[in-house]
């Protein structure tokens, strides 16, 4: 790791120091509206729409989670499966199409985007789906497995220690799953229409860096009702295949700015967090079949959430009830407004116009910013660098030290001396990933605008703060309004990832967000400048330069190595008696009966989850016995009321043992009857041998008419059994 050498001493010194411290522009010409009419799309409401849904759940054991960067927060089971939700929208009036994907991921890394595009080219040719018309966005859940970037910074390799490392199995599960969701959306294309509706969701979010936000000009802040965006923008997609009399709903996508950090940095179960839960509620309401290639899809997509926390319920933990209750509350609030907007067809308006897109690559560390976009002087962006306050983390997941360390602060020490990059201004630089180790973080990044009729999506590869998003929206709106665009939405964490994006004023505060803004104080101005060019070209119907081609990172990607490489059951150990894979662990079977709202559980001797990810499947089933004696599944490992827990440990004579615990928080409306818990997995006798399937079932137990004193999180709700596994 020679390229890390000069960064190593700096980061080590920073950690030691922290420990000691204890501590305006022109409008597009009116002629653009004439060009829009000439294209034949003015006033058109006819579209082709297709939706697709696919599993992207990675390894459920021994992979560090992506988001909080907390050592030891390794996956150890599943609470919700992660999904990719794809929408293909085409306009007959101009023959163009676009793709929007919302994926349950912490970030959407450039390597994933490039892999998905390569798969699309191989299937559909070079021109149908390209980086110009495919927009991939992450929900920013902090409860998914990491190790799927080709840039070392995001696999968290510091000081030569691979905290995650690259996990090929996770990377391929994500890339293939996103690709398959687009394939399904493509196959489901049918004539239809799209309705747009908007609403406000106050009280569901707060600004976690209010003091940085307050640095923005008072005149600017006074234009807005608060220090977070409470607006939700929702699209209702309806399709009418040949022979259908009326369009029927096939999908919904909405954008609302809030971090997916309701689950804390102590959680080790895979989860879509509050946005994943909101999607789950919506899809359950409309009988989504997670095993079907054609089913209803509901995406709760991400926007400018950079400084926005969902933890507003007191103590940051859901009114003291824990992270599951906090996740439920944040997800439920988003779901309820989305459902109201979705059902309000009278208040919604049809999308009008055609679809189109513009895309370019920008070398973000070398942008000359014109005076009108900055402070009246020509400015430039900087080589990527991270500040000391990045190490402190944000309020949703604290790290080491404190926020707000600027040059001149005693904790900054000599970092702001001759070795600091003066381009970074107030930032005391702890690490220079772009200069010292180019494989650590990308510097050639995509910017994109997708037009869906009179709505525009502005895709950025950053986490934008509230005010940064507001400024960028206005920049784009000003140029597209004469061409008929009425709604402008930020699609955050899209197509690549390279940290945060703050305003110049917020950057000066050097809270976590400013310290994590890689390319210096004028990064937002550069993004506004380059996005304005895209918007002007989109309005005028002209092309834009492709920009510099992103270079694949050099060197070898460090792969993770597990000590748990094959499975063993201690058959000969007298402590356990005679056991096999799928056997219930002695003394840990289900009880004889449970009231509703209690938790049924059983623990099995199992195999390692990485032997088979069970993509589009499930590691567990809750089964109910029918009158004829057959068993019917009523819940799976993606249902909110179930949990699949894994625990591994060394065991004699030569292998590694796994305990798998299946839990079911029994919903309060569960019909009385006889049930059992089933686990399915694979075990591998040797690393070079294929995995072998096994199953196990708990004892039968009854669910009674009674209700426990207090329903656990996730149990007190109606649940309809609608999924069917393939």
Q: Per residue in 410-467, pLDDT tens?
A: 877 767 765 678 899 999 998 887 554 556 889 999 999 999 999 999 999 999 999 9
> Would you state the structure tokens that stand for residue 630, as one six-digit string?
């057959």
Q: Is 158 left (phi over 0), alpha (psi -120 to 50) or beta?
A: beta
Asked if the model's pLDDT at residue 9 lies above 50, the reply is no
pLDDT, position 654: 63
Estimate to the nearest angstrom the gap between the alpha carbon of 361 and the chain centroid.
22
Is the CB of residue 21 less than 8 Å from the CB of residue 389? no
Q: What is the pLDDT confidence band of residue 553, given thresholds at 50, 70 and 90?
A: low
Is the CB of residue 417 less than 8 Å from the CB of residue 522? no
More confident residue, 652 or 366: 366
Q: How far is CA 380 from CA 423, 429, 498, 520, 600, in A?
A: 8, 18, 18, 9, 60
Is the CB of residue 473 less than 8 Å from the CB of residue 487? no
Q: How far apart are CA 50 and CA 188, in angstroms?
A: 5
Asked if the model's pLDDT at residue 162 lies above 80, the reply is no
Residues 6 or more apart in contact with residue 288 via CB below 8 angstroms: 53, 295, 296, 297, 298, 722, 723
* 103: Cα within 13 Å, side-chain hemisphere: 36
SS3 181: helix
Domain locations in the chain as residue ranges: 2-363+440-540, 562-726
DSSP 121-176: HHHH-SSSS-TTTEEEEE--BSSSB----SSGGGGTEETTEESS-B-HHHHHHHHH
Q: Is 534 left (phi over 0), alpha (psi -120 to 50) or beta?
A: alpha
Nearest Cα to Cα of residue 83 among 506, 504, 638: 638
Q: How far apart are CA 37 and CA 42, in angstroms?
A: 5
Which residue is listed with tokens 């997609």? Answer: 237
pLDDT, position 720: 36
pLDDT, position 684: 86
Summarize the confidence of residues 16-33 as an average pLDDT. 43
Summarize the confidence of residues 660-673 as an average pLDDT. 96
By CB atoms closer than 10 A (0-12, 13-18, 19+), residue 552 is exposed
> Would you state the structure tokens that stand for residue 227, as one six-digit string?
């220090």
More confident residue, 248 or 416: 248
Summarize the confidence of residues 471-491 as an average pLDDT. 97
Summarize the confidence of residues 240-262 as an average pLDDT. 92
Q: What is the pLDDT confidence band of residue 112, given thresholds at 50, 70 and 90?
A: very high
Q: How far apart are CA 259 and CA 305, in angstroms?
A: 6
Asked if the model's pLDDT at residue 589 lies above 80, the reply is yes
Q: How far is CA 721 from CA 576, 598, 623, 635, 639, in A?
A: 37, 19, 11, 7, 10
Which residue is listed with tokens 């933890």? Answer: 311
Question: What crossing angle do the helices spanning 523-540 and 466-480 adopt, rounded to 10°?
Answer: 20
Backbone angles phi, psi at 145, to 5 degrees: -70, 145
Q: How far apart are CA 409 and CA 1, in angstroms?
A: 31
Which residue is listed with tokens 């591998």? Answer: 684
Across-strand partners of 658? 606, 648
pLDDT, position 380: 97
**pLDDT tens for each residue of 87-102:** 999 999 999 999 999 9
By CB atoms closer than 10 A (0-12, 13-18, 19+), residue 224 is middle
Summarize the confidence of residues 61-86 as an average pLDDT. 92
Q: Which residues of 296-335 are buried (b: 16+ CB within 10 A; e: fewer)?
A: bbbbbbbbbbbbbbbbbbeebebeeeebbbbbbbbbbbbb
Across-strand partners of 415? none
Say how many Å lie between the first and final Cα of the chain, rounded.
46
Q: How far is CA 285 from CA 153, 254, 288, 461, 640, in A?
A: 40, 16, 8, 32, 14
CATH assignment of 562-726? 2.60.40.2300
276's enclosing H/E stretch is helix 273-285
SS3 660: strand
SS3 513: helix
Q: How far apart are CA 674 and CA 626, in angstroms?
A: 8
Q: What is the pLDDT confidence band of residue 559, given thresholds at 50, 70 and 90?
A: low
pLDDT, position 719: 38
Asked if the model's pLDDT at residue 607 lies above 80, the reply is yes
By CB atoms closer than 10 A (0-12, 13-18, 19+), residue 180 is buried
Asked if the model's pLDDT at residue 328 lies above 60, the reply is yes
> Would you state the structure tokens that stand for residue 439, as one six-digit string?
């494989």
Is the CB of residue 640 less than 8 Å from the CB of residue 565? no
Asked if the model's pLDDT at residue 633 lies above 90, the reply is yes
Is the CB of residue 423 less than 8 Å from the CB of residue 520? yes
Is the CB of residue 88 less than 8 Å from the CB of residue 135? no
Q: How far is CA 615 from CA 52, 313, 314, in A?
A: 15, 35, 37
**pLDDT tens for each residue of 668-710:** 999 999 999 999 999 988 878 899 999 999 999 999 987 776 6
Is the CB of residue 80 less than 8 Å from the CB of residue 58? no
- The length of the chain in residues reads 726
Asked if the model's pLDDT at residue 3 lies above 80, the reply is no
Summarize the confidence of residues 288-314 as an average pLDDT. 94
Asked if the model's pLDDT at residue 717 lies above 80, the reply is no
Q: How far apart are CA 159 and CA 136, in angstroms?
A: 32
Is the CB of residue 178 less than 8 Å from the CB of residue 101? yes
SS3 36: helix
96-103 and 134-138 strand pairing: parallel
Nearest Cα to Cα of residue 159 among 287, 40, 9: 9
Which residue is listed with tokens 């010292």? Answer: 436
Helix residue ranges per DSSP H, 430-577: 433-436, 466-480, 504-509, 512-515, 523-540
* C-beta atoms surrounding 457 within 10 Å: 25
Q: How far is CA 139 from CA 110, 136, 299, in A?
A: 16, 10, 9
Q: What is the pLDDT confidence band of residue 69, given thresholds at 50, 70 and 90?
A: confident
Residues 6 or more apart in contact with residue 216 via CB below 8 angstroms: 467, 503, 505, 506
Asked if the model's pLDDT at residue 205 lies above 50, the reply is yes
Asked if the model's pLDDT at residue 315 lies above 50, the reply is no
Q: Is the dihedral of CA 519, 100, 77, 304 positive or negative?
A: positive
Q: How far apart are CA 455 and CA 103, in angstroms?
A: 21
> Would you state the structure tokens that stand for residue 633, as one six-digit string?
């599944």
The radius of gyration computed from the CA coordinates of the chain, to the nearest angstrom, equals 26
More confident residue, 397 or 32: 397
Summarize the confidence of residues 626-645 as an average pLDDT. 97
């Amino acid at each position: 790791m020679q390229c890390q050498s000069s960064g190593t001493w700096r980061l080590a010194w920073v950690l030691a120091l922290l420990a000691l411290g204890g501590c305006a522009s022109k409008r597009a010409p009116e002629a653009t509206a004439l060009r829009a009419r000439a294209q034949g799309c003015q006033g058109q409401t006819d579209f082709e729409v297709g939706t697709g849904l696919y599993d992207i759940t990675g390894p459920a054991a021994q992979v560090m989670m992506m988001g909080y960067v907390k050592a030891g927060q390794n996956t150890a089971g599943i609470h919700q499966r992660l999904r990719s939700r794809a929408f293909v929208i085409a306009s007959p009036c101009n023959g163009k199409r676009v793709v929007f994907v919302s994926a349950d991921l912490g970030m959407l890394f450039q390597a994933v985007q490039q892999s998905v595009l390569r798969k699309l080219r191989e299937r559909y040719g070079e021109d149908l789906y390209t980086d110009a018309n495919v927009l991939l966005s992450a929900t920013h859940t902090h409860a998914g497995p990491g190790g799927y970037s080709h840039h070392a910074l995001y696999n968290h390799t510091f000081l030569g220690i691979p905290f995650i490392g690259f996990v090929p199995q996770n990377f391929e599960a994500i890339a293939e799953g996103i690709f398959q969701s687009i394939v399904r959306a493509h196959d489901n294309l049918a004539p239809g229409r799209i309705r747009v509706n908007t609403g406000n969701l106050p009280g569901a979010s707060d600004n976690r860096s209010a003091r940085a936000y307050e640095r923005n000009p008072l005149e600017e802040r006074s234009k807005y009702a608060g220090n977070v965006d409470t607006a939700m923008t929702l699209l209702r997609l309806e399709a009418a295949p040949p022979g259908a009399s009326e369009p029927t709903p096939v999908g919904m996508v909405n954008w609302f700015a809030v971090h997916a950090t309701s689950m804390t940095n102590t959680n080790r179960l895979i989860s879509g967090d509050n946005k994943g839960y909101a999607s789950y509620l919506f899809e359950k309401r409309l009988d989504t079949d997670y095993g079907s290639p054609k089913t209803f899809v509901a995406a709760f997509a991400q926007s400018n959430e950079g400084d926005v926390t969902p933890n507003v319920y007191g103590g940051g933990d859901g009114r003291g009830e824990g992270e599951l209750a906090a996740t439920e509350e944040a997800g439920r609030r988003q779901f309820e407004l989305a459902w109201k907007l979705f059902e309000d067809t009278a208040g919604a308006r049809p999308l009008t116009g055609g679809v189109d897109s513009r895309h370019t690559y920008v070398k973000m560390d070398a942008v000359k910013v014109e005076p009108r976009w900055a402070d009246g002087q020509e400015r430039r962006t900087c080589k990527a660098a991270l500040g000391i306050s990045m190490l402190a983390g944000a309020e949703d997941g604290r790290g080491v030290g404190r926020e707000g360390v600027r040059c001149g602060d005693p904790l900054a020490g000599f970092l702001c001396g001759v070795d600091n990059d003066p381009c970074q201004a107030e930032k005391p630089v702890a690490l220079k990933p772009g200069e010292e180790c180019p494989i650590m973080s990308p510097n050639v990044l995509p910017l994109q605008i997708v037009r869906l009729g009179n709505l525009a999506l502005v895709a950025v590869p950053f986490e934008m703060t509230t005010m940064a998003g507001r400024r960028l929206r206005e920049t784009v709106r000003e140029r597209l309004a004469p061409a008929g665009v009425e709604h402008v939405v930020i699609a955050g964490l899209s197509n690549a990832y390279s940290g945060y994006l703050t305003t110049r004023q917020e950057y000066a505060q050097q809270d976590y967000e400013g310290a994590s803004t890689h390319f210096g104080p004028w990064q937002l101005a550069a993004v506004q400048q380059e996005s304005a060019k895209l918007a002007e070209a989109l309005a005028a119907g002209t092309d834009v330069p492709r920009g510099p081609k992103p270079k694949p990172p050099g060197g070898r990607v460090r792969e993770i190595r597990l000590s748990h490489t094959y499975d063993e059951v201690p058959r000969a150990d007298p402590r356990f008696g005679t056991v096999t894979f799928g056997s219930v662990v002695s003394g840990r079977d289900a009880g004889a009966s449970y009231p509703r709202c209690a938790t049924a559980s059983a623990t099995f001797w199992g195999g390692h989850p990485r032997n088979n990810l069970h993509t589009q499947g499930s590691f567990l089933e809750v089964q109910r016995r029918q009158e004829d004696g057959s068993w019917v599944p009523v819940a799976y490992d993606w249902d909110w009321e179930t949990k699949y827990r894994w625990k591994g440990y060394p065991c004699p004579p030569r292998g590694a043992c796994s305990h798998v615990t299946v839990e079911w928080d029994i919903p309060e409306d569960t019909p009385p009857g006889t049930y059992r818990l089933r686990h399915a997995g694979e075990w591998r006798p040797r690393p070079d041998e294929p995995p072998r399937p096994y199953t196990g079932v708990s004892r039968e137990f009854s669910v009674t008419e009674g209700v426990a004193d207090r329903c656990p999180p996730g149990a007190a709700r109606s649940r309809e059994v609608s999924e069917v596994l393939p």
